[in-house]
A and B are shown apart, each in its own frame.
Chain A
Amino acid sequence: MNNAPASPPVGAAASVESRWASPEMRARIRRRYGAERRFKAVGLIAVLMSVGFLAFLLGTMAWSGLSGFSQTRVALPVDFRGSGLSIDASSMTKAEAMAALNQQGLGDLLQLSATSAYGAQGESYFGTAAKESAAAAIYDDPSMLQRQVELALPATSPIDVAAKGEGDAASEAAVARLEAAGKLSSGLDTTFLSSADATDPTVAGIWGALKGSLLTMLVTLALAFPVGVLAAVYLEEYAPKNRLTDIIEVSINNLAAVPSIIFGLLALALFINAFGLCQGSPLVGGLTLALMTMPVIVIAGRNAIKAVPPSIRDAALGVGASRVQVVFHHVLPLALPGILTGTIIGMARALGETAPLLLVGMRAFVGGTPDGLCSSATVLPMQIFLWSDEVDRGFVENTSTAIIVLLIVLLSMNAAAIILRNRFEKRW
């Protein structure tokens, strides 16, 4: 310190000290610390807002969608004696029995019972869902055809919506009357997860869309995974440094950033117009999504392969493995958890994708489950989109419920990816 040339004189040091204590200095420090606190608070607010948006989004969907798992039922006394309905439960399958009952005029009987129980407007309380439910009940217990029973049957959409608090005035009044008479009950809507799309929201379900999604994802996985992994292996392990490799790398990085709707245009021009593949089918949808998912898998795969230390390769080469053996016997197994994580994330993205599928004809109404790769089908996000366009309030609820199902599937896929990464990925 002695030979420091700029050591300040004693008097100056004292004045600095006094200035630190001076009111202006304190005010300035207060101001600076205030700014610090404010800045930190702004950061916290930003984080809380982002998390809050997420919570609000999920909360809104859960709030309006959970009621879709329940259905409103109205009690209906039916006298089957003398109705002429008969089934042979021992020899008929459920579908046959239900068809036979329909043909024998079950619907008319129900409408008749409804008018005699609830007056002229009673007809409007029961629809297709009630008929199916009654037929199923008769199949389970054919002896009821010989007596008078009171069945709790699913109500039509206006009544259902009104019972959940969002209906129009007339239905609200009807619901209030039924409520007062103790005729209303609610139960688990089992048809929602097991039936396909329909024009009546109380009958419509998501099984058709779920199966379509499953088939589409199978095609996507079967194409994108092998091609993606092989391309990643080539680029990371074998590709010579030349112009072709550069072009491949540039196109993979660009494809990962191309808007999804462009893939839809490509699929329309290539698969449907040029190759004439079946329009609106899981095959074409899966091909389109495979083109989109492949770059994601290549990029994830390259990172996973890059993370395998060179010592593994050197050791394998040292004991006489060929270059192909090094990769397929040693590098690839070690990189597999990382590759699978990337694949699951890519597949989750493909599962939630709608836009390109709009263009390849998957937006048609499909009132049945797809039974093959070439039959016309819809997928879960597309079903959500189609339902969100419907005017009927019953479909709004269905949309939210379908969104809950989609989000549960996607979140569990992402959770699986995270678990896989944490459990199996080695840090070298």
Chain B
Amino acid sequence: MSGLAIVLMLFGLGLIAWLSGRARAAQLERVTPAAAVRPHSRPQYHGWYVALWTILPALAFLSVWSALSPGLAVQAVLADPAAASLPDNEFVRSAIIGEARQLATGQIAQGFNPQSAALVEPFRTAISRYSTIGVVIALILAFAGAAWSFTRLKRDFRARTRVERVVMLLLLAASLVAILTTFGIVFSLLFESIRFFDRVPVTDFLFGTHWSPVSGNEDPDLFGAIPLFWGTILIGAVIAMIVAIPLGLMTAIYLTQYAPARVRSWLKPTIEVLAGVPTVVYGFFAALTVGPALRSLADALGIAGASSDSALAAGLVMGIMIIPLVSSMADDSIAAVPSAMRDGSLALGATPSETIRKVLIPAALPGVMGGVLLAVSRAVGETMIVVMAAGQSANLTGNPFSSVTTVTVQIVKLMTGDQEFESAKTLAAFALGLVLFIVTLMLNIVALRIVKRFRESYE
């Protein structure tokens, strides 16, 4: 029986339990005359109480069992006479067992190792035996829970309080998912990075200037990430920002200060569309249209070392993508400046542009800076545009027309080739991910702190 079917069956039992619990409570309510004290909980809460007792213990058991039973099945198979001929080598043995498992569950049709075929039958019986045991125990738990909770139903039983306690636990569990995800990210990155730094010293990684990881080669000289950091900064923090800051800021100024309300109500959503276009589309646009165009421009200008996957193409397109982010942050910060400052400046005879340049922008500057930092963090972590439009070769160059590579490009490149676990090449992706995570986290924390302090200063 598949896992989904078992869970569905449990929920079916839960429905029956809910109906019978509710019916029982309604009956209790009717039997005693209405003149008596009214019951504490409505009948449906009694129903929920019984249903929860039916489903939750069985579900908890099943989740524990699904983690335990593969191990038990393997032990059963190893005890089988057919397993006696398995080689002693731990690694080969587990490979054969894994293959037999896949054969037994029908994930693959043909085994690589002939020995695995002999183990299929024992494996199949073991798996079916343990899954039958699991289903039976789960059903026993479900019925026991239902029966016990059903006997507790009384006229004055406080079913609602108990049900609500479970609801609260559920809410808390849902919130904890966020913490678990954060910890998951930090631990998985840290764990793999530490294994990487065992092979390649941190200093060689952070300060080395030569990057060309090769499979099977763990020479620390090949893992110098400076060219990647430089490429990321050149594309994300320099070129993209040169496009996004002026355009985003002036767009926000025009829309908030000059545009009539009707025009604004049309233009603002239109510009927001730029943020909704998937990055893979930007990447295709950059690689197909912008890159070749810039290359022929560079050739016409006689700039040496021009490449069609240039830093400029990726940076320009990324800047366009960031415009709405900068614009909306600038919009918010300008709107947060007290109108008394603006009115005062206009009343003194300053023109609107003088008011904007001399009063509003300086007053809104911290907020705008926060927005720019958020935009940088977004640009640094952006993947698809650079994967499709920037290059693969790690060059340490200031020429925007030449090809550079970024941290995210290299993560994708390292993780999607012929990857083997345990190699420095694969682990390097996690180390790069850790650096990226720390940098974007820092940028975000600083940005949010700046924006928060700025808001408070005008409240």
Contacts and interface: CB of A to CB of B under 8 A. Distances in A.
A230 B171 contact: yes
Contacts of A50: 247, 251, 271, 274, 320, 323, 327
Given A381-B278, A388-B288, A255 B189 contact: no
Contacts, number: 246
Given A270-B188, A363-B416, A239 B351 contact: no
B292 to A, nearest CB: 12
A352 interface: yes
Nearest to A414: B276
Contact of B274 (A35, A54, A399): A54
A262 B254 contact: no
A137 interface: no
Contact of A258 (B250, B253, B388, B437): B437
A35 B356 CA distance: 12
Given A36-B351, A235-B175, A355-B412, A266 B274 contact: no
B246 to A, nearest CB: 7
A309 interface: no
Interface stretch (A84-92, A148-156, A290-298): A290-298
Given A47-B254, A233-B171, A35 B185 contact: no
A62 B448 CA distance: 39
B441 to A, nearest CB: 6
Contacts of B354: 32, 35-36
Interface residues of A, number: 85
Report whether over half of chain B's contact residues are helix, strand or loop; otherwise say mixed.
Answer: helix
B164 to A, nearest CB: 4
Contact of B284 (A328, A348, A403): A403
A403 B281 contact: yes
B160 A322 contact: yes
A269 B421 CA distance: 11
B175 A43 contact: no
A33 interface: yes
Interface stretch (A121-129, A199-207, A244-252): A244-252
Interface residues of B, number: 87
Interface in A380-418: 381-382, 384-385, 388, 396, 399-400, 403, 406-407, 410-411, 414, 418
Nearest to B443: A257
Nearest to B380: A259
Report whether over half of chain A's contact residues are helix, strand or loop; otherwise say mixed.
Answer: helix
A12 interface: no
Nearest to B276: A414
Nearest to B284: A388
B388 A385 contact: yes
Given A46-B250, A47-B254, A262-B433, A407 B412 contact: no
Interface string B279-323: 111111101110000000000000000000000000000001001
Interface stretch (B81-89, B109-117, B176-184, B200-208): B176-184
Nearest to B350: A32
Contacts of A399: 284
A231 B412 contact: no
A265 interface: yes
B322 to A, nearest CB: 11
Interface in B409-441: 411-412, 415-416, 421, 429-430, 433, 436-437, 440-441
A151 to B, nearest CB: 35
Given A53-B320, A294-B178, A262 B436 contact: yes
B277 A57 contact: yes
A354 B285 contact: no
Contacts of A193: none
The 7 lowest CB-CB distance pairs between A and B, nearest first, are A259-B381, A352-B278, A43-B254, A46-B250, A230-B174, A355-B383, A39-B353
